[in-house]
Amino acid sequence: MLILVATAHALDVDRPQLSGSSLTSSGTLTRPAPFLDEPESYYVGALITVAKAPLRFETGEPVIDEVFGTELGFGGVVAPRLRLDVAMDLFPGVRFPQHDWSAELETMAIGDTRIGGHWAIAAPRSAGVGVAIDAQARLATGSPLFTSGWGGQGRAIVGGRHRRVGWTVDAGVDYINDPPYLDRKLGSALIGGAGVHVWALEQVVVGAEIDGRHPFAPSGDIAADTSEWAAYVGYTPCSGAQLSVGGGGTVLAGIGTPESRLLLTFGYFRGDCSFRRVGQANAIPPLEHPPPRRRPPPPPPPPRANLTQTAIVIDQSVEFAYESAALLPEATPILQAVAAVLRAHPEVTVLEVAGHTDERGDDAFNLTLSQARAEAVVDWLVGAGIAPERLRARGYGETAPVANGHDEVAWTRNRRVELRILERAPG
């Protein structure tokens, strides 16, 4: 009989994702899941992990040298702020030390299957701090040494985001119906952790986290507490695809908290990205006699800026990079039209450039972003020859919407730049 030094629970590759999530997503390391404010979205993803020495004798000698594990997961949004998930663990590679008994153990194993849901009670963008509940049922489909038995898990999650920094704290209970292959009671436990992540670039997130487990009733020579740390970097090449790489190790040693762990996650969101594999045939074969070439449609008319008694009205929006004050090239023609109006009407002596955002995100961040965008427009106009004393920049954040609603149509209308005449010369 093996004398083990901790619980077998953490041998599952599934780990609670902390800092990489935003309460609307299941997270960066665990699996790429859809945002809950995108109705009818779904995802498929995989987590690949390599763990070194996750199982030891009480003497410190490893029972398992390395485990190569894969979690396959999929899920989707079934109701507002409610996502259902299904995940299963596979262990295609297990390397044992050279002992006589090692040949009797499996080198290809199946882990438990988990069915669960994620409910965002309050999203951070509307409440400042978000609250969510995550629950799952665990089906004992795993091979010996790779199962936690029938049971379930529930977590309460609190988190938020300020500008590009996010944080998450969670706590819950892991219920285990002890599997029959061990002569020790593994026991249910308190679980929890915390983490932080930073959006270093528009599409790159860097984070670190720690999570742990404390049994309600530790048994004999089984270690009472286990915990593990991890750090990762995630990259979203385009909306819809996600890739992250991470690593970590032991804080408090136990079964499933290895000396070191490497992780790789990749996945796909419905409808956001499509990739063509190398050598994949075109789904539409070429026509033997292609139709005659049609004349291209005429180019769209140039943007217009019209002077009224109280404002300069533009017929196109001023475009910026995502969560940035950087003007996109599409903004140049409309700003050129605004500059032309100001040159032709010197009687407009003071013009307010007002920046507005939609309701999503932190209030303080939106106010700062709208001010920075208004200043970017002023800087462009000054560079085009408009006297700086004729211009004022002011950001209003999300405080002055022009469209009601909580969908993309309303958000698009509310993200805008307005040009208001504050002073005119008499005459």
Q: Using one digit for the tens of pLDDT, what is the confidence trace for 60-117?
A: 566 666 767 788 888 887 887 788 888 888 776 666 666 544 444 445 678 888 898 8
The alpha carbon of 415 is separated from its chain's Cα centroid by a whole number of angstroms, namely 23
User: What is the structure's pLDDT at 177?
Assistant: 76
In the chain, the amino acid numbered 123 is A
pLDDT at 349: 94
| Dist. CA 62–CA 344, nearest whole Å | 81
339 membership: H or E segment, kind and range: helix 331-344
In the chain, CATH 2.40.160.40 covers 9-269
Q: Give the other-Cβ count within 10 Å of 402's Cβ.
A: 10
Rounded CA-CA distance 335/326 in Å is 14
For residue 411, the model assigns a pLDDT of 92
DSSP state, 216? S
Helix (H) or strand (E) holding 342: helix 331-344
Burial class (CB in 10 A: 0-12, 13-18, 19+), 16: buried
**Among the ranges given (84-93, 175-184, 393-402), the one the predictor scored with the smallest mean pLDDT:** 175-184
**Of the options 3.60.15.10, 3.40.50.720, 1.10.10.10, 2.40.160.40, the CATH number for the domain spanning 9-269:** 2.40.160.40
The encoded tokens of residue 349 equal 């002596």
Give percent of the chain above pLDDT 70.
Answer: 68
pLDDT of residue 124: 57
Q: According to CATH, where is 3.30.1330.60 located in the chain?
A: 305-424
pLDDT of residue 310: 93
Between 334 and 167, residue with greater pLDDT: 334
pLDDT > 50? residue 174:
yes
Q: Which residues pair with 192 in a beta bridge?
A: 171, 212
Q: What is the mean pLDDT of residues 240-253?
A: 78
Higher pLDDT, 80 or 186: 80
**DSSP string over 236-268:** -SSTTEEEEEEEEEEEE-BTTB-SEEEEEEEEE
CA dihedral 144, 147, 148, 149 (to 10 degrees): -80
- CA 206: distance to chain centroid? 11
Residue 1's pLDDT is 27
Model pLDDT, residue 29: 36
92 token code pair: 């295609």
Which helix or strand (DSSP H or E) is residue 119 part of?
Answer: strand 109-122
CB contact set of 76 (below 8 Å; sequence gap of 6+): 34, 40, 41, 42, 43, 83, 84, 270
pLDDT, residue 26, reads 33
Residue 31: per-residue pLDDT: 37
Q: How far apart are CA 367 and CA 374, in angstroms?
A: 11
Higher pLDDT, 169 or 28: 169
Q: Which of 40-44, 251-255, 282-286 has the highest mean pLDDT?
A: 40-44
- Among the residue ranges 80-84, 161-165, 251-255, 416-420, the one predicted with the least confidence is 251-255
pLDDT at position 22 over 70: no
Q: Tokens 């022009």 sit at which residue?
A: 402
Helices (H), ranges, 121-167: 124-127
pLDDT tens for each residue of 116-139: 888 878 765 544 677 888 899 988
89 within 8 A of 71, measured Cβ to Cβ: yes
Provide the residue count of the chain.
Answer: 427
Of 10-14, 228-232, 284-288, which one has max mean pLDDT?
228-232
The DSSP call for residue 412 is: H
Rounded to 10°, the helix 331-344/363-383 angle is: 60
For residue 341, is pLDDT > 90? yes
Is 336:385 a contact under the CB 8 Å cutoff? no
- Stronger pLDDT, 269 or 334, i.e. the higher one: 334
pLDDT value at position 199?
75
The reported pLDDT for the residue numbered 100 is 44
Q: Does domain 305-424 have CATH number 3.40.225.10?
A: no
400-409 pLDDT tens trace: 999 998 999 9
Instruction: Please provide the average confidence, as pLDDT, over all residues in the chain.
Output: 74
Which pLDDT score is estimated for 20? 36
Query: Which residues, including other chains, have CB under 8 Å from residue 67's CB and lie 6 or more apart?
Result: 11, 49, 50, 51, 54, 91, 93, 94, 95, 258
**Hey, which of 53-57, 166-170, 268-272 has the most confident mean pLDDT?**
166-170
If you average pLDDT over residues 344-369, what whole number do you get?
A: 93
